[in-house]
Structure 1
Amino acid sequence: MPNYKLTYFDLRGRAEIHRQLFALAGVPYVDKRIKPEDWPTLKPTTPFGQLPLLEVDGKPIPQSMAIARFLAKRFGFAGANDLEEAQIDALVDLLNDYMTEQKHFFGVLVGRVPGDKAAATKELFEPARDKYFPLVIEKYLKKSKSGFLVGSKVSWVDLHLAGHITTYQQLIPGAFDKYPEVIAHRDRVEALPAIKEWIAKRPKSSY
């Protein structure tokens, strides 16, 4: 069996989807969590000066979406065929467009960027949410027979979406209450036995 090592900060953040893929697959790995003060020393040793970083038998794979796609394909959570795989990739791209559109809001939300949280919620988050989430719901969730976004089983885009909903509902209570379909989807994903077990034991963090 390959040796896997995932390096990231002691947060859910961009690495949580990878940890959940390992949990779903039941595959052991090293979950290396670094402190912020250790990052300046580690940064020059990484391929792109960024985290998360996955090492497979010592070979590095950078970039969070590349890591997620690699693990999902390897573990069987990237679609049942090439059409499903393409649909999953398209949804991931759509969600990433949404996140890019309101990325400055997240900085304000967690205190990295100065600004008024209430104003940023109204001006940045809510317009992006209301632009993209009706597409996700109407085009995918309402047409789904399985309760998951694509196909008959959970895939990595389900983890991507559910993780975002959990984080934002935690930081902004009621953030997605107007979209009960995505709340129900998140609950369905987090009720999967392997995911439920992981959530119960993972280190606590604000995001």
Structure 2
Amino acid sequence: MSPSKSSSKYKLYYFAARGRAEVTRLIFKAASIPFVDETFSKDQWPGLKSTMPTQTVPVLEMGGEKYPDSGAIVRWAARKFGLSGKTDGDQLRVEEALAGAEEVRSLFLSWFFGTDPQSKGELEEQLKQKATKFLGRWEALVKETRASQRVYTYMVGTSLTAADLAMLDILEQLSSVHSIDLNAFPKLLNNKATVSSLKPIKQYLETRAHYPF
């Protein structure tokens, strides 16, 4: 049974979309931490905008206070719930992955919402270059562990971190960009399969609302 709003310590505000809030959602789900996923439509946003600290979302509310900035929220949640890496080196790798994923996501969202054909084409080329560089680096860095006749792949170390959840989200978004060949990154696709098969993530992916981005 889902927790009631009154019993949840955390409330996440964002549009009814994956966008910049999905990695935070995935972290909460992976850590089995109850939270209120407060979504709203584009039409509802003007009435809510003035209630947000910087008139932007996502925003995390806890203890009666609202905290903005997707990057800050993700990094805090990763540390809070044990998904930021086990060693200093691992933590730096996770931070690097989160920062890179956010750069790719920003370009993706600009491309996704683009309407002018020429500028959209230019944005897609920029996105392709940025994403290919990012994915190529992590294809070389991911760690493979063979167990029970299967290969499990993690971005950092041999267990789940926020970097894996960010990669899952980025690969889902980039799957709609036809000029990017994700099959060129088989280890990252196996990382996606590894993370998607984890019980709390699998349950979430099977039951979450279907959003276009």
Q: Is the counterpart of residue 185 in structure 1 residue 187 in structure 2?
A: no
CA RMSD of aligned residues (A): 2.4
Q: CA deviation at 1:128?
A: 2.1
Higher share in strand: 2
Q: State the distance in 1 between where 2:122 and 2:210 align.
A: 26
- What does 1:8-23 correspond to in 2, within 5 Å? 8-23=14-29
Contact 1:168 / 1:175 at 8 angstroms: preserved in 2? no
Contact 1:54 / 1:67 at 8 angstroms: preserved in 2? yes
Aligned equivalent of 2:139, options 120, 137, 147: 137
Q: State the distance in 2 between where 1:184 and 1:118 align.
A: 30
Helix, strand or coil at the partner of 1:45: coil
Q: Which residue of 1 aligns with 2:162?
A: 156
Q: State the distance in 2 between where 1:123 and 1:30 align.
A: 37
Q: CA deviation at 1:171?
A: 5.0
Q: CA deviation at 1:86?
A: 1.8
Give the residue type in structure 2 aligned to 1:192: L
Q: Is the counterpart of residue 30 in structure 1 residue 32 in structure 2?
A: no
Contact 2:8 / 2:34 at 8 angstroms: preserved in 1? no
Contact 1:10 / 1:34 at 8 angstroms: preserved in 2? yes
Q: Which residue of 1 aligns with 2:101?
A: 95
Q: State the distance in 1 between where 2:47 and 2:80 align.
A: 31
Q: Tell me: CA distance 1:97–1:12, structure 2 relative to 1, closer, same or farther (3 Å).
A: closer
Q: Tell me: CA distance 1:171–1:133, structure 2 relative to 1, closer, same or farther (3 Å).
A: closer
Q: Which residue of 2 aligns with 1:203?
A: 209
Q: State the distance in 1 between where 2:57 and 2:134 align.
A: 27
- What does 1:51-62 correspond to in 2, within 5 Å? 51-62=57-68
Q: CA deviation at 1:65?
A: 1.2
Higher share in helix: 1
Q: State the distance in 1 between where 2:18 and 2:124 align.
A: 25
Q: Is the counterpart of residue 107 in structure 1 residue 113 in structure 2?
A: no
Q: Is the counterpart of residue 76 in structure 1 residue 82 in structure 2?
A: yes
Work out the number of aligned pairs and report it: 201
Contact 2:93 / 2:156 at 8 angstroms: preserved in 1? yes
Structure 1 gaps, min length 5: none
Structure 2 gaps, min length 5: 1-6, 146-151
Contact 1:98 / 1:129 at 8 angstroms: preserved in 2? yes
Please give the per-residue CA displacement for 1:54-76, whole angstroms capped at 9, x wherever unaligned.
01122212111111111111111
Residues 15-24 or 164-173, more deviating: 164-173
Give the residue type in structure 2 aligned to 1:135: R
Q: Tell me: CA distance 1:204–1:97, structure 2 relative to 1, closer, same or farther (3 Å).
A: closer
Q: State the distance in 2 between where 1:98 and 1:205 align.
A: 19
Contact 1:8 / 1:53 at 8 angstroms: preserved in 2? yes
Q: Tell me: CA distance 1:17–1:65, structure 2 relative to 1, closer, same or farther (3 Å).
A: same
Please give the per-residue CA displacement for 1:23-57, whole angstroms capped at 9, x wherever unaligned.
11111111100111121121122111110100112
Q: State the distance in 2 between where 1:91 and 1:29 align.
A: 25
Please give the per-residue CA displacement for 1:76-96, whole angstroms capped at 9, x wherever unaligned.
111113332122112222333
Same amino acid, percent of matched pairs: 25
Helix, strand or coil at the partner of 1:177: helix
Helix, strand or coil at the partner of 2:66: strand
